[in-house]
Amino acid sequence: MQNETDKVPLPKSRHSDPLSWVEKYADYLYGFAMARLRDEEVAKDLVQDTFLAALQHLDRFEGNSEEKTWLTAILKNKIADFYRKQSTGRLSDLKITDAEGEQQEFFDPETGHWTERNYPRAFGLEVDDPLVMKELGSILNECLAKLPGLWFSVFSMKHMDDLASELICTELKLTAANFWVIMHRTKLNLRACLQKNWN
């Protein structure tokens, strides 16, 4: 029985072998997408879109980087496109005045220090114990999963992909004020979730 790649001739490149992409990179790209999307179906779709886009633009791959790096860059763009579409029309409720009001609940407006009720408690991570760190990582993942999609995207682009704030704003079509409000609310939510669930 013929498979799809036998029926349709693939573009050729002296720097890349598209026939090996799925075997070599599908699991890695899927894991990369899942870490940023938290949705199996969307992750699978974007990995397939990545392979398709790479095939369509194979003539542009000159071998200046590894295949894996090139495919990951395409996937990053697909993820940014996905979140850009998701964020359209959802930014009107991100008001700086609301975020500043929320901040006053956590910080004393006169001193700028934490309020007594919301002062961060020690997490008890003084001991370098892999089991403790694994448990904390699991709780952090649960807290991240509770974030709205756009918040998670901004946070992951900033702290997982280490992108500059300006680039994130450009990629997701956010204003600097939108970015600040999202990051502020995300950090407060994560801190509250971690403190609530960490013994």
Give the CATH number, domain containing residue 57.
1.10.1740.10
Count of the separate structural domains present in the chain? 2
Q: Which tokens sit at 191?
A: 């801190």
Give the integer Cα–Cα distance in Å for 33 and 187.
22
What confidence tens digit (pLDDT) does each residue in 8-29 have? 444 455 556 788 889 999 999 9
Are 81 and 120 found together in one domain?
Answer: no
What confidence tens digit (pLDDT) does each residue in 41-80 have? 999 999 999 999 998 888 777 767 788 988 999 998 898 8
Are 189 and 124 found together in one domain?
Answer: yes
Give the integer Cα–Cα distance in Å for 133 and 125.
8
Q: What is the pTM of this model?
A: 0.62
- Answer yes or no: is pLDDT of 136 > 90: no
Exposed e or buried b per residue across 176-189, where buried means at least 16 C-beta atoms within 10 angstroms of its C-beta = eebbbbbbbbbebb
Mean pLDDT of 75-89: 79
Residue with the bigger pLDDT between 25 and 133: it is: 25
- Residue 97: the pLDDT is 45
- Residue 85: the pLDDT is 77
Identify the domain containing residue 10 by its residue range.
Answer: 4-87
3-state SS, residue 114: strand
| Burial label, 25 (beta-carbon count in 10 A; 0-12, 13-18, 19+) | buried
Last residue of a domain, one of 40, 69, 87: 87
Length of the chain: 199
